[in-house]
Amino acid sequence: MHTFRRSAALLALSAGTLASLPALAADELHYNQISLRAEVSQEVARDLMIVTLYTEAQNTDPAKLAAEVSTTMNKALAQAKQVKDISLRQGSRNSYPIYDTKGQKITGWRERAELRLESSDFAALSKLTGELLTDMKMGGMDFAIATPTRKASEDALLKDAVTAFKARAQLATDALGGKGYKIVNLNLNSNGYPQPYMRAPMMMKAAAMDSAPVTPEVEAGTSQVSMTADGSIEVLMP
């Protein structure tokens, strides 16, 4: 009877020791771990020009109003399609009633339609914009980073971020007197690629009474974009 109890106690001790081994292994995994962060950045040119034009009119007859707006839009679309390397699409189009001073009776209708043009050829789009402004109005001029440019800058920054992270990891290892390190985890995140921002309608290089098409002056500028490398390393001690 005593022998059985002693054996059971030894088995229980062995089981408890084995159960603690995973916990010890987990503790050893996090031994000498350091969290690090590295960031690199560069100036990237906004190489995509976005122009929003619109036409707006009012009429007491909604059908005639819609026909007038459609005529202006169709003419602009046909003219824009003749220019290479310019993508275009129709923006929002809406109409709403106009009421009398008492706000009770509809006296007419107003309709507005937008045309959005995009291109990396600033000269061509500026010229087209000036021509279309004879029949339409400027809604806004935006500048953004084109998708191919964004991807290329991300690839370059990713390599630089990893290099910077490894340099900081080696610096931390040397400071601790370690013989080396291994990367436990590493996360890479890019930021600073702004959405297109709207600028106020541009002033034209012509007198107000000059009816000839004019070309807007443009200056896209740059945006600072960055890539961060966040992670942790385990320093290997001698």
With 60 as the cut, is the pLDDT of residue 231 above it? yes
In this structure, the answer to whether residues 38 and 53 fall within a common structural domain is: no
pLDDT class for 8, splitting at 50, 70, 90? very low
In this structure, the answer to whether residues 124 and 159 fall within a common structural domain is: no
Distance CA 49, CA 88 (A): 12
Query: How confident is the prediction for the chain on average, in pLDDT?
Result: 82
What is the pLDDT at residue 104?
A: 86
In this structure, the answer to whether residues 102 and 190 fall within a common structural domain is: no
Structural domain span for residue 190: 29-47+146-196+224-238
Distance CA 70, CA 57 (A): 11
Domain count, the chain: 2
In this structure, the answer to whether residues 79 and 68 fall within a common structural domain is: yes
What is the pLDDT at residue 119?
A: 94
Question: Tokens at residue 54, please?
Answer: 């619109």
Q: How big is the CA angle at 210 (ends 209 and 213), to the nearest 5 degrees?
A: 140
In this structure, the answer to whether residues 93 and 163 fall within a common structural domain is: no
pLDDT class for 216, splitting at 50, 70, 90? low
> 38: helix, coil or strand?
strand
In this structure, the answer to whether residues 160 and 236 fall within a common structural domain is: yes
Is position 17 within any domain? no
User: Which of 64, 66, 59, 91 has the alpha carbon at shortest distance from 77?
Assistant: 91
Question: Tokens at residue 85, please?
Answer: 């390397």
Query: Count of CB atoms within 10 A of residue 119's CB?
Result: 21
Is position 82 within any domain? yes
Is position 23 within any domain? no
Is position 21 within any domain? no
Is position 11 within any domain? no
User: Which of 196, 234, 9, 18 has the alpha carbon at shortest distance from 118?
Assistant: 196
Query: Count of CB atoms within 10 A of residue 237's CB?
Result: 12
CB 132 within 8 A of CB 124: no
78, 109, 144 — which closes off a domain? 144
Is position 154 within any domain? yes
In this structure, the answer to whether residues 55 and 133 fall within a common structural domain is: yes
In this structure, the answer to whether residues 128 and 60 fall within a common structural domain is: yes
What is the pLDDT at residue 100?
A: 87
- pLDDT tens, 147-169? 899 889 989 999 999 999 999 99
> 110: helix, coil or strand?
strand
Question: Tokens at residue 30, please?
Answer: 């996090």
- pLDDT tens, 191-202? 765 555 444 444
In this structure, the answer to whether residues 73 and 117 fall within a common structural domain is: yes
Is position 10 within any domain? no
CB 207 within 8 A of CB 146: no
Is position 121 within any domain? yes
The residue type found at 23 is A
